[in-house]
Amino acid sequence: MSQNLSQTFLAITRNSTDLEWLQGALAPLGQVVSAGAGAGSLDELLALVDVTFANLVFVGLDREHVVAQCALIEGALEAKPMLAIVALGDGMDNQLVLNAMRAGARDFVAYGSRSSEVAGLVRRLSKRLPPVAPSNHLGGLTVLYGVQSNADGALLANHMAQVVQKSGQQTLLLDLGLPRGDSLALLGLESSFHFGDALRHVRRLDATLIDSAFTRCEVGLRILAYANTDEPLEHTSAAELYMLLSALRQHFQHIVVNLTGQPDSEALRTFVSHCDKLLWYTDQNVLDCRRNLAVLNLWREKGMKLDHAKLLVDRYLRTVAPDSDALGKSFGMEIIATLAYSPEVRLNAKNQGVTLFELAPREVLTQSLRTLGERLAKRSESLAKPKSWFSRLRGA
């Protein structure tokens, strides 16, 4: 994933309350991803270690599951000897502490410990652990996010992704914006394979499945979108997303994710924290700006690092306040682009099911989207290019 967070930690806890406590304590250092509850699953834990590049795992212990939990610690260390495991539990229960140490845990943290103590322990352990470098064979990941729920998010993401595809990079548009499925509808496309299907079949996601199941538009861009029957994004765990994104990034050189309109959730924060570039989508509507700033300020308060975020101002009118400079200062972000309002061109593109590149290639809005897409493509050119699904299919 990206380097926007210094580390990713995995945790098997008793419940969501324990997980939230740990996430709050370690927010300045990185993201804590749930790897299950209770006794957990060794196979799932090891798979997550591989895709998240985590080298530190927290395992909660309790009297009911202590035998299975200690077996999990032993199994994880047998498979990954360089892994550091910290046990969590009741600090007054000496038996739990002894069991954890015998199983191979590096340290023991009592539930409810002060955040500074937990963070200090992690810093000390991290200095002793070998650095784990992310794979060089993962494709780029760009996220478009804003609180507004409308078809324009899908419209912009669609055009940017098409430009990246035309640059020669195998590209996927992952459309999880609200309303659902607008990226397909805007191009008059249908699909029988959706986001929920990909989650269920993540271990089968290979070149053959991508070639046969993922919808493709005329320029070769692959599109994976929500179905109306898919679970809401907030019901998707960060662990599931890691598995899916890791699989997809091995087959695509760039993934553009539309998340406009999504409510705040752990899944949304996972996308935001681990993308290479975050385009924060807003317009000059003060009410929408306030909603965006409420989410942005909450994330900053929780310690999320957003250095990779740029502000994208849509439907921009130069004669209307707040102007771009005021918006940039309010959001505390550099503005990557301002996009022209062009209501007639937008409406015709949506209603006719054609792209702006076909409908109005010389329009200012079209040119801006092409420039933006080219910037995204150039950013990911330096990444090691994975074999495309087509090359893999041919056995290249």
For residues 188 and 223, membership in a common domain is answered with: yes
Integer Cα distance of 169 and 252 in angstroms: 8
* pLDDT value of residue 265: 93
* pLDDT value of residue 136: 54
Last residue of a domain, one of 85, 105, 128: 128
- 388 within a domain of the structure (yes/no): no
- 38 within a domain of the structure (yes/no): yes
* pLDDT value of residue 169: 96
For residues 233 and 91, membership in a common domain is answered with: no
For residues 257 and 357, membership in a common domain is answered with: yes
* pLDDT value of residue 18: 92
- 134 within a domain of the structure (yes/no): no
Q: How many domains does the chain have?
A: 2
For residues 171 and 109, membership in a common domain is answered with: no
Buried b (16+ CB within 10 A) or exposed e, 164-180: bbbbebbbbbbbbbbeb
- 26 within a domain of the structure (yes/no): yes
Residue 240: is it exposed, middle or buried by C-beta count within 10 angstroms (0-12/13-18/19+)?
middle
* pLDDT value of residue 328: 98
Q: Are 14 and 60 in contact (CB under 8 A)?
A: yes
Question: Phi-psi category of 53—alpha, beta or left, where left has phi over 0 and alpha has psi -120 to 50?
Answer: left
pTM of the model: 0.87
Long-range Cβ pairs for the range 351-359 (8 Å, 24+): 353/186, 353/187, 353/188, 355/158, 355/159, 355/162, 355/187, 356/159, 357/159, 357/162
For residues 339 and 265, membership in a common domain is answered with: yes
Q: Domain containing 295 — which CATH number? A: 3.40.50.300
Last residue of a domain, one of 128, 154, 180: 128
Last residue of a domain, one of 86, 107, 128: 128
**Secondary element (H or E) of residue 173:** strand 171-175
Its domain, for residue 215, covers 140-381
Q: Rounded to the nearest 10 degrees, how much is the dihedral formed by the CA atoms of 133, 136, 138, 140?
A: 100
- 248 within a domain of the structure (yes/no): yes
- 181 within a domain of the structure (yes/no): yes
For residues 85 and 198, membership in a common domain is answered with: no
* pLDDT value of residue 389: 46
**Local mean pLDDT, 10-residue blocks, the chain (396 residues):** 63 91 90 84 91 92 93 95 95 92 96 94 90 66 96 97 97 97 95 96 93 96 96 93 92 97 94 94 97 97 90 97 98 98 97 96 98 90 52 45
Q: Are 96 and 88 in contact (CB under 8 A)?
A: no
Task: Give 260-285 as a DSSP string.
Answer: TTPPP-HHHHHHHHH-SEEEEEE-S-
